[in-house]
Structure 1
Amino acid sequence: MEPYWRTVFTQPASNTAPDNITARDAIEDIWKPISANDIKAAKPAMSVSPGPDGLTARQLRAIPLPVLVRILNLILLCEKLPSRLANAKTIFIPKKAGSADPSDYRPITMASTLTRLLHRILAQRVDAMVDFNDQQRAFRAGIDGCRDNIILLDIILRSRFKSVRPSNIAILDLAKAFDSVQHSALMTCSRAAGIPEPMLRYLSDYYARGSTVLCGDGWSSDPIVPTRGVKQGDPLSPVLFNVVMDHLLRSLPNECGISVGSKVIRAMAFADDLNLVAETPGGLQTLLDHTSSFLDKCGLAINIGKSHSLSIKAFGHIKKSAVDVNERFTINGQPIKALSREDRWRYLGIEFEPQGRCMKAVAPQLAPLLQRLSSAPLKPQQRLFALRACAIPRMYHTLALGQNTISDLNHTDRMIRASVRQWLRLPNDTPTGYFHTPAAAGGLGIPSFRWLAPLLRRNRVRAWLPTPTPDPNNNMIADITQQYIAAELATCEKRLCDGGTQLNNIEQICKKWTKSLGDTIEGRSLSRSSDVTGQHSWVVDGSALLSGKDYLQCHRVRTGALPTRSRTTRGRHADRSCRAGCSAQETNNHVLQCCPRGHAARIRRHDAVLNYIERRLRRQGFEIAREPIIPTPAGPRKPDLIAHMGRFGIVVDAQVTNDQQNMRQVYSAKREKYDNDDINQFVRSTYKATNICHLPVILSWRGLWCDKSASDLLTLGTCNRRDLAVIATRVLIGGAIIHRDFTYATSVR
């Protein structure tokens, strides 16, 4: 590894640079003094790794702003970095799984976080002030470069086939572009772009003195000073590379290209991925020759093995187009591969064919990820977290910019639900809405590809044109780009129509699934889940709060999926009476709330809630009296506990209700029972409390809080929202224990 990359970084510099570059006036504001607002806008995230000096992002943020302003402005004044800040370390990230060859790794160079802060400020200024060519769309603030280039290539391919017009395209890959560009070319192109002389002197000194240490798995090299290339991982590097590519794009011959609407497109650049387009083979060869010559002067080279061309011939007299594999193009005399009609290629993560984006099923891409999650030694909550946070987001790019079908999206949703059902040991008749309803509304919060894909695509495509959305039925639309956008938006709108209801945003999709869950027997009792924020955070946070077994049991109780006679005989004529001999049907409500078999476990569930609240009250400094007997004219009253501290007293009584009761009514009944003169007088006389608060703690056996109880606990500061989730899991685990005791018992009433 080290010899290979040492050779790459220290290749002798040829000190060549492009000539005949049109220079622009220097933009002196790029090097103006740095302000506190500049630093606030560029401060690194807390997760940023430190450089060789060990200065973490947290430590950098702890430095007072006035001190940081002075340090950075002193560096600007000196036009050079201190030696310690100019040093860096380089680590290697594999480009693909199982990489063994050193060339299959990407070097990431990390300087001091202070150096990166300065360079991020300068990069933001260069990007905002330098007039870059619109055909370079990578590393540009406010520009969705992937979307723009993918849509533009799709428009060119589709429109040329549809209108039977010729087109020639070269898809080029630059070999180690960031690691090979000549420093002399950087300086020449930067000066021509308007970078002021003080910054040029700073960059020249930085690249002349800046050393790096190559670091691998248990090894590190001696410091080396790269003689070429920009440092991947440095915030300035993408902008400087864009400066070089900007001059290439501006220098392309005007007589070549393809008309797309009112514009002539000659190139589409995204970092080191470059597409050249022309109407004639001669035009494309001219672009290739010019590009190769320019890149050679910059120390860059085109990777012949990863580059290819596409030539589409038009036969107007028969109104047909054909891919010509015999039309070959060369780069420095070497031919590049010519694509055929059956060939496919990937561009920015999306598969293309000669007629545009091709259908690419999502399910086969997601299936290996689901299999890896299923076989990994993870807890079920960790699998669910990885699915939501890693596996599904990996598909968003394909969903938004690729080509897919409704049947494939539905198949993908079914595949995800099958895996989750297996991980959580849920029965096959678990409502579909439970999987896709947001966790805060009582579900698992797994996005549905069927509805997410058209929404993502519509939002990305709609943002491509600043003009109002065109009418797809208007035949007078002359611009081919607007015709394309109109057709794509019409398809997305059609897919987002749910039985006559248009779903225009993610909130409406979530409401659809929430209603779907609420319309089922199991989900009806979860319809008030969103009343209390945070009570369901245990579902999605993937933490170690619960063991895997307890997490599974919590979901079974939450969904009402515990096997009782009423549930297992649903749809059949069978005996549903309680196995304990009760004169009642064996339902979840009966087993968990009424049946004598579960009485002892119900007491333990109640005490688990109360004990947690007692610990929180003691932490606040309260003294606790458990179950005091209070004589009243209506009979003795025994609240669960009375907490007192100085002149402040709290009367607490907890209850776990069935899932069909109105918890607010239960809350009001508890208040009415204990908030009276007799009990208040007892608290005043016994505990010397004058400020008395009554706190009914009401939850349903499904782990749902009464909103008034949760609000009271939060207002008093006794519990935070995390505590609400913990108490909810205590209720759910207690419900699972009640059902277990009921099932294992053999006595009959």
Structure 2
Amino acid sequence: MGKSAPGPDGISPRVMNKRKTERTTAFLNLILTLETIPDHLNLARVLFIPKSETPQGSGDYRPISITSVVVRCLHSILAKRWITVVPRLHSQLAFLKRDGCFEGVVSVHTILREARLATHNLTMCSIDISKAFDSLSHDTIKRMAEAYGAPKALVSYISNCYKSLKAIVHNNIVKVGRGVRQGDPLSPLLFIMCMDEVTRLTTREHGTKLGSQMVDSVLFADDMMIFADTTVGMQHKLDMLSAGLQQAGLSTNVQKSRSLTVAANGKLKTVCVVPHTYKIGGVSLDPINVTDKFKYLGIWFSHPGITKQPISTMADSLLNEITNAPLTPVQRLTILRQYALPKLQYVCQVGAIGKTDLQKVDVSIRKSVRQWLGLPHDTANTYFHARDGGIGIEPLYPLAEIRRSQRLRRLNTRNCSLLQAVRQSEAYKLFEGKSIG
């Protein structure tokens, strides 16, 4: 359980690890045999984490539930065993042992580029679900547990567990009537099962052709990209999706949802962006026009696919925040290594960024590090691991290119119908052959 926080019962991972394994195993098996969980263990302490620097209302906070370490241990075991026998999830990339963000970004980019290269019609809707984790119906969770192979005893345990959910909110105990607990190891698996079922309710007849296959959706948890080849087909899919979401107790956040329509001219071998309006739940979606940009999984897109990323602006913002924060030099280096650099590396490996831009960012990073540590400007900037006496600050270039190649190799070997379709397309071959430079 690592260094995770104790739940309301006060039992820490350290205390639990001191118990004999046989006793812990017997207690967990007893819970499963009784198909219920003691009330004091089913109580969670809820913390509200702000989503932005200036939260204005309840929607700007993310509720994180801290349950008992005993429950987390049991649910972690159940999740790890259950995921090995779950049938393949349709187009779902999140919470699985795969490079989901990279695969999702590459898939959407390939679909957008292929529409231009093959000159065919494409309609795409980016659907945002409002408070998805907090709104999911408990009846839907039980139904999906049955549908995805859980034995009757486990279905009964999950049902009883959610029936008696309670949480401590500002020292008040409240009963929880909907949603999955963010912070519980079993919640991600239950959630993606429910989202997979919602997309299966939409018709598969309408999609976009990629290679020799049809792709109708790409999902990353509750971030949904829906595709069709006609405007009528897309509207039909949105109507069915709205009904499926309502059945699961979910609703769309129309303010954060967008649509894109690309019309092809076969004779001229060209495509153009059409400002067509679609509706979901009776509310219109804002169309993406030819000059608009939109963000998907942390990467900026425009209608032809991945666009140039503002890597210099991102790096300057991160470095300024770290510099201005009241931190020690060691704390600044830790944040840089564990948070800022991985974030920049991800954008560099996926986004359209040139070698010169990466080298400029590397210079800015090393300049900031010298400032934090009070080092002279002529200090050597050769990369050394901390174990060899260095400070472990990795350069963006050429590591971004090396790791991009590694991620592409993993994508090329993954057995997945979505990625098989992506790999067959001409657009992916061009993306794969493009290097940072």
Residue 273 of structure 2 corresponds to 323
Helix, strand or coil at the partner of 1:223: strand
Report the counterpart of residue 490 of structure 1 in structure 2: 433
Counterpart CA distance in 2 for 1:181 and 1:403 is 37
8 Å CA contact retained: 1:173, 1:273: yes
Tell me the residue number matched to 1:460: 407
Contact 2:117 2:427 in 1 (8 A): no
- In structure 2, the residue matched to 1:133 is 89
For residues 212 and 442 of structure 1, the distance between their equivalents in structure 2, rounded to whole angstroms, comes to 48
The residue aligned with 1:167 is: 122
Kindly tell me: are residues 336 and 427 of structure 1, through their superposed partners in 2, closer, same or farther at Cα, counting changes over 3 Å?
A: same
What is the match of residue 445 of structure 1? Answer: 392
* C-alpha separation in 1, matches of 2:322 and 2:29: 50
Contact 1:133 1:249 in 2 (8 A): no
Within 5 Å, give how 1:638-653 maps onto structure 2. Answer: none
- How far residue 444 of structure 1 moved from its aligned partner, in angstroms, is 3.6
- The alpha-carbon deviation at position 447 of structure 1 amounts to 1.1
Q: What is the alpha-carbon distance in structure 2 between the residues aligned to residue 201 and residue 169 of structure 1?
A: 39
Closer, same or farther: CA 491–427 of 1 in aligned 2, 3 Å:
same
Match of 2:274, as an amino acid?
Answer: D
CA shift for structure 1 position 487:
3.5
Q: 2:105 aligns with which of 150, 155, 174?
A: 150
Task: Name the SS of the counterpart of 1:201 in structure 2.
Answer: helix
Which whole-Å deviations, capped at 9, do the CAs of 1:28-47 have from their partners, x for residues lacking one? xxxxxxxxxxxxxxxx22x1
1:213 pairs with 168, 186, 208, which one?
A: 168
Aligned to 1:373: 322
1:245-324 to 2 correspondences below 5 Å:
245-324=195-274
Note the C-alpha offset of 1:196.
1.9
Residues 160/482 of structure 1: CA separation in 2 closer, same or farther (3 Å cut): closer
Matches within 5 A, 1:390-405: 390-405=339-354
Whole-angstrom distance in 1 between the partners of 2:321 and 2:243: 47
Matching residue's letter, 2:123: N
Question: How far apart in 2 are the matches of 1:65 and 1:480?
Answer: 47
Preserved contact between residue 412 and residue 423 of structure 2 (Cα < 8 Å): no
Question: 3-state DSSP class of the match of 1:190?
Answer: helix
Of the candidates 85, 106, 109, which is equivalent to residue 62 of structure 2?
106
Conservation of the 8 A alpha-carbon contact between 1:292 and 1:332:
yes
Aligned to 1:240: 190
CA contact (8 A) 1:252 1:266 kept: no
* Number of equivalences: 432
Distance between the aligned counterparts of 2:226 and 2:270, measured in 1?
Answer: 24
Identity %: 34
Structure 2 residue aligned with 1:357, among 297, 303, 306? 306
> Following the alignment from structure 1 to structure 2, what is the Cα–Cα distance between the partners of residues 479 and 125?
30
Shift of the 373–241 alpha-carbon distance from structure 1 to 2, 3 Å rule, reads closer
Q: Per-residue deviation at 1:189? A: 2.6
Q: Could you say which residue in structure 2 is the equivalent of 1:636?
A: none
Does residue 53 (structure 1) correspond to residue 6 (structure 2)? The answer is no
Alignment of 1:536-615 (within 5 A): none
Give the alignment of 1:1-80 within 5 angstroms: 44-45=1-2, 47-80=3-36
Contact 1:157 1:355 in 2 (8 A): yes
Judged with a 3 Å threshold, the aligned counterparts in structure 2 of structure 1 residues 420 and 110 are, in CA distance, closer, same or farther, namely closer
**In the alignment, is the contact (CA less than 8 A) between 1:361 and 1:408 conserved in 2?**
no
SS in 2 for 1:169: strand
In 2, are the aligned partners of 1:132 and 1:246 still within 8 Å (CA)? no
One-letter amino acid of the counterpart of residue 391, structure 1: A
Structure-2 change in CA distance of 1:318 and 1:487 (3 Å): closer
Q: How does 1:719-734 map to 2 (within 5 A)?
A: none
Please tell me the residue identity of whatever aligns with 1:156.
I
Equivalent residues of 1:187, 1:204 under 8 A apart: yes
Aligned position for 2:418: none
Per-residue deviation, 1:413 = 1.0
Shift of 1:105: 0.4
Matched, 1:229 2:175: no
User: Could you tell me how far apart the structure 2 residues matched to 1:444 and 1:95 are?
Assistant: 31
Does structure 2 retain, via aligned residues, the 8 Å contact 1:155–1:481?
no
- The DSSP-based 3-state class of the residue aligned with 1:194 is coil
Classify 1:83/1:161 alpha carbon distance in 2 versus 1 (closer, same or farther; 3 Å): same
TM-score by length of 2: 0.93
State the distance in 2 between where 1:188 and 1:380 align: 52
**Per-residue displacement from partner, 1:257-286 (whole Å, max 9, x unpaired)?**
112123211111111111100111111111
Aligned to 1:713: none
Cα distance, 1:57–1:337 mapped onto 2, change above 3 Å = same
Ranges in structure 2 where 5+ consecutive residues have no aligned partner = 416-420
CA distance in 2, matches of 1:382, 1:205: 44
Aligned in 2, Cα 1:213/1:255: closer, same or farther, shift over 3 Å?
A: same
Q: Is the contact made by 2:277 and 2:287 (CA closer than 8 Å) also made in structure 1?
A: yes
Q: Deviations over 1:67-110 (max 9, x none)?
A: 11110111111111112111111111111222231110001111
Cα 1:225/1:414, change in 2 over 3 Å: same
After superposition, give the CA deviation of every residue in 1:178-220 in whole Å (9 maximum; x if it has no partner): 1111111222232222222212221221111121111xxxxx2
Aligned to 1:84: 40
Q: Which has the higher contact order (CA 8 A, sep 6+)?
A: 2
Unaligned runs of 5+ in 1: 1-43, 215-219, 469-477, 496-749
Distance 1:415 1:206 in 2: 51
Structure 1 residues 311 and 376 mapped into 2: Cα distance closer, same or farther (>3 Å)?
same
CA distance in 2, matches of 1:382, 1:65: 37
- Aligned residue identity for 2:87: D
Residues 202, 316 of structure 1: alpha-carbon distance in 2 compared, 3 angstrom cutoff: same
Distance in 1, matches of 2:422 and 2:43, equals 52
Q: CA deviation at 1:287?
A: 1.0
Deviation at 1:133? 2.1
Q: Is the 8 A contact 1:462 1:485 kept in 2?
A: no
1-side partners of 2:43 and 2:292: how far apart?
46
RMSD: 2.1
Q: Which residue of 2 aligns with 1:334?
A: 283
**Aligned pair in 2 of structure 1 residues 382, 206: CA closer, same or farther (>3 Å)?**
closer
1:472 corresponds in structure 2 to: none
The answer on whether the counterparts of 1:133 and 1:250 sit within 8 Å (CA) in structure 2 is: no
Query: Residue 207 of structure 1 aligns to a residue in which SS?
Result: helix
CA distance in structure 1 between the aligned counterparts of 2:102 and 2:86, rounded to whole angstroms:
23
Instruction: Note closer, same or farther for the CA distance 1:68–1:401 as it changes in structure 2 (3 Å cut).
Output: same
Whole-angstrom CA distance in 1 between matches of 2:56 and 2:283: 28
